[in-house]
Structure 1
Amino acid sequence: MADAALVDNRRALIAVIAAVTAMAVSLSLSIPLVSLLMEKRGYGSDVIGLMGALPALSFLLASPVVPACTRVVGSGKMLWGSLILAALSIWALSWSDNIYFWFFLRLMIGLSMAVLFLISETWLNKIAREKTRGRTIAIYISSMTCGFAFGPVLINFLGAEGSLPFIVSSLIVMSAGFAFLIVGDRFPDLGEKSSYSIFSFIKIAPMISAATLLVAFFDGSVLTLLPVYGVKNGQALEMAVLMTSALLAGNILLQLPIGWLADRFDRTKVILGCGIVGVLGALILPFVVLEPYLLWPLLVIWGGGVVGTYTIALVVMGQVFKGGDLITATAAVGMLWGLGSLFGPVLAGVAMEVVKPHGMPLTFAAACLLFVLVAASHLRRSRKA
């Protein structure tokens, strides 16, 4: 029986990681594609930016209702439904040029994203063993980041015109269904009720909440604005674009070592260390932005360290919350992620205009410092307890 359960858990781990990676590839292919096509058709950057904010808005709106819907419908039907909705919505982007239709479709894609990611992360934490939880979550984050990094590369092969890119993106989403076929009908039972609400989660778990907001801010603003920051500070356009690639490389390469540290040492100390890396990286960036031998290693370490805060936050969440509380905690994290992704780019963009030319890294340094204070406070309380 124990061996059978172990095999089922391994199949589930493979299914979750494969499905989320496929969704990441598809999203990172279709989202820039929509922006490029809108720009070619003469839409302003304000409309394009609004379109780009819709997935974050979907997370913000959908996350509070996912736990209740999962209890009623079941996790398996919710996961299959999210795949079908995402695939159809992405394919439908090629049916019409109507901008209002595209806005509706992007909301549907964001909704399917919210369902898939929230249930998958709950499932992952539910089956992860405590001894290797850090490494398991790290593999998940690294694989998902690989997916997001690979999607834009496909645009170079598929082009940005016609129906083909959208059809391929839709098929990539549906390929995640093969991962779910591996587990048969052994989807997680997430029907237990939680002992608290999503909105009380911030008070219960301030460190996890702060880490989520921080990395959503990083993902939505720093990754987006870093090439602009590089150009404004004298980098050639080609090199400025590669700065984002260096950050992503850090996200991919350093999560497993960070997960290993989380399995060996006090997890609050590890997440605190990641936050300090975030502060230092943001403060050092203005001094090395034109020094390639210093810039590239800094970006790799900085990107890996900042995203490491979210990796450890998920690890701690799976360690602390169980049963129905776990999906409520994951839904709360999804809502916070939507909030950070929605307002982060606006805040960083304004900072770049007000404090020229280093407003973006200074704003992020302040955000990281706030997180470090929250993590340090959590460490003090846990020592007293």
Structure 2
Amino acid sequence: MTENKPDNMLALIAIIAAVTAMAVSLSLSIPLVSLSLERRGYGSDIIGLMGSLPALSFLLGSPFIPFWTRLFGVGKMLWGALILAAICILSLAISDNIYFWFFLRLLIGFSMAILFLISEAWINTIAREETRGRTIAIYVSVMTCGFAFGPVLINIIGAEGVFPFIVSSLIVFSAGFAFLLVGGKFPDLSAQSKFSILRFFKIAPMISAAALLVAFFDGSVLTLLPVYGVKTGQTMEMAVLMTSALLAGNVVLQLPIGWLADKYDRNWVILGCGILGVAGALLLPLTVSEPYLLWPMLIIWGGAVVGTYTIALVIMGQDFKGGDLITATAAVGALWGLGSLVGPTTAGVAMEIIKPHGMPITFAAACFIFVLLAIWQISTSKAARNNP
């Protein structure tokens, strides 16, 4: 199947609009499901298991996306996943069978994996090399805004009855209008990849580690930071604001990080982000009781950690094309699912063992491993250039 290349600016607008709509819908539906289950009397174990299903879908479904994309083409994959997600979210409103909800949540996770991963491959296909960093940074920033807006929307439309699920379904379906902008002209990602997903982990260890690290960050730090704040003496309101500060860093610092990636060696930029990630985790226990230090530290920390993922996507688009790119993106998606599953459990157990600072200590260790890997890759790349 041959698919035409759309106008780059139009395609960029379509991708960002579509991903933002999907991010809002996903971040709206996840707490809606949790709150609905809580009202129906289900325990935190069932709610937690339900919440883990999207990550499980990314882990299990991502490896199949390159094959499905070659088989059906990008356009059919995007529209099929979009319709499936909208129908499944709507179905949550018309059924209260817990087993059916588990099935629906898995399907929603699979469809979102398709939509997000193909979109990331697509944006790397249209990005120009000289501005790739800034292009990916805008994509990540706007997507983060979408994820942050979902919970806010609950306060506007409420969390009871079928109406919020209908709104969530309509939001995700609205992404289809963005796809209509490109007039059916989608990128061609149908070429056979020269490597498998497992092989990608060996070919690109730093990209793989960055995806795993940021998923671990999202799953552990963003989930447990309010709990950590309360345990270290903050009020509930202040503890929640700590998460908001992290998200603010995710949004406002990606464009400067992307600009650095366009001007300087991207390997050194991602290493710098990793070092700031270690520093932020180690400084958190020291600054949590010092507001004037805590808030700027959280903004810089959040932006730097997510910056490792932004630069990983930039390097991935720089090094891989066509069928190789969609396989690389699928590998990153699988790692994202793994990190999102492992992160909350690991950090939660660490907080029980090392009270109350187990979470930042655990993340500091994870970030330090990433830094060592980045230094190793920079060293090996330099040696390869000096000994062609």
Q: Normalised by the size of structure 1, how large is the TM-score?
A: 0.98
2:53 maps to which residue?
54
Instruction: Say whether 1:28 aligns with 2:31.
Output: no
Deviation at 1:213, TM superposition (A): 0.4
1:109 maps to which residue?
108
Instruction: Say whether 1:182 aligns with 2:181.
Output: yes
- CA RMSD, Structure 1 to Structure 2 (Å): 1.0
Instruction: Say whether 1:139 aligns with 2:100.
Output: no
Within 5 A, what are the aligned runs for 1:139-288? 139-288=138-287
Deviation at 1:39, TM superposition (A): 1.5
For 1:164-217, what per-residue CA distance to the aligned partner results, in whole angstroms no more than 9, with x for missing partners?
100011110011111000001211111100011001111100000000000000
Residue 142 of structure 1 aligns to a residue in which SS?
helix
Mapped partners of 2:189, 2:113: distance in 1: 16
For 1:27-48, what per-residue CA distance to the aligned partner results, in whole angstroms no more than 9, with x for missing partners?
1111011111111222111111
Mapped partners of 1:40, 1:376: distance in 2: 49
2:86 maps to which residue?
87
Deviation at 1:364, TM superposition (A): 0.1
For 1:319-363, what per-residue CA distance to the aligned partner results, in whole angstroms no more than 9, with x for missing partners?
011121111100000011111111111101100001111000000
After TM superposition, the structure 1 stretch with the greater mean CA deviation from structure 2, 299-308 or 27-36, is 27-36
Instruction: Say whether 1:66 aligns with 2:65.
Output: yes
1:312 maps to which residue?
311
Mapped partners of 2:41, 2:302: distance in 1: 34
Segments of 4+ moved more than 3 angstroms: none
1:78 maps to which residue?
77
Mapped partners of 1:39, 1:168: distance in 2: 20
Deviation at 1:269, TM superposition (A): 0.4
Within 5 A, what are the aligned runs for 1:366-385? 366-385=365-384
After TM superposition, the structure 1 stretch with the greater mean CA deviation from structure 2, 193-202 or 38-47, is 38-47
Instruction: Say whether 1:44 aligns with 2:43.
Output: yes
Mapped partners of 1:22, 1:300: distance in 2: 25
Query: Sequence identity, in percent?
Result: 76
For 1:11-62, what per-residue CA distance to the aligned partner results, in whole angstroms no more than 9, with x for missing partners?
1111111101100000111101111111122211111111011000000111
Structure 2: 5+ residue stretches without partners: none
Deviation at 1:77, TM superposition (A): 0.5
Mapped partners of 1:371, 1:105: distance in 2: 35
Deviation at 1:87, TM superposition (A): 0.6
Deviation at 1:285, TM superposition (A): 0.2
Letter in 2 for 1:166: F
For 1:278-314, what per-residue CA distance to the aligned partner results, in whole angstroms no more than 9, with x for missing partners?
0000000001112111111111000000000000000
Letter in 2 for 1:90: I
Residue 94 of structure 1 aligns to a residue in which SS?
helix
Letter in 2 for 1:330: T
For 1:213-265, what per-residue CA distance to the aligned partner results, in whole angstroms no more than 9, with x for missing partners?
00000011110000000001100001101111110000000000000000000
Letter in 1 for 2:91: A
1:19 maps to which residue?
18
Mapped partners of 1:264, 1:91: distance in 2: 45
Mapped partners of 2:184, 2:156: distance in 1: 37
Deviation at 1:120, TM superposition (A): 0.6
Mapped partners of 1:323, 1:71: distance in 2: 11
Mapped partners of 2:130, 2:95: distance in 1: 51
Mapped partners of 2:291, 2:38: distance in 1: 32
Mapped partners of 1:190, 1:50: distance in 2: 34
Mapped partners of 2:184, 2:168: distance in 1: 26
Structure 1: 5+ residue stretches without partners: none
Q: Normalised by the size of structure 2, how large is the TM-score?
A: 0.97
1:342 maps to which residue?
341
1:290 maps to which residue?
289
Count matched residues: 381
Mapped partners of 1:330, 1:336: distance in 2: 10
Instruction: Say whether 1:358 aligns with 2:353.
Output: no
Letter in 2 for 1:302: W
Mapped partners of 1:383, 1:81: distance in 2: 44
Deviation at 1:8, TM superposition (A): 0.6
Mapped partners of 2:251, 2:184: distance in 1: 31
Letter in 1 for 2:199: S
Mapped partners of 1:361, 1:46: distance in 2: 24
Letter in 1 for 2:262: D
2:302 maps to which residue?
303
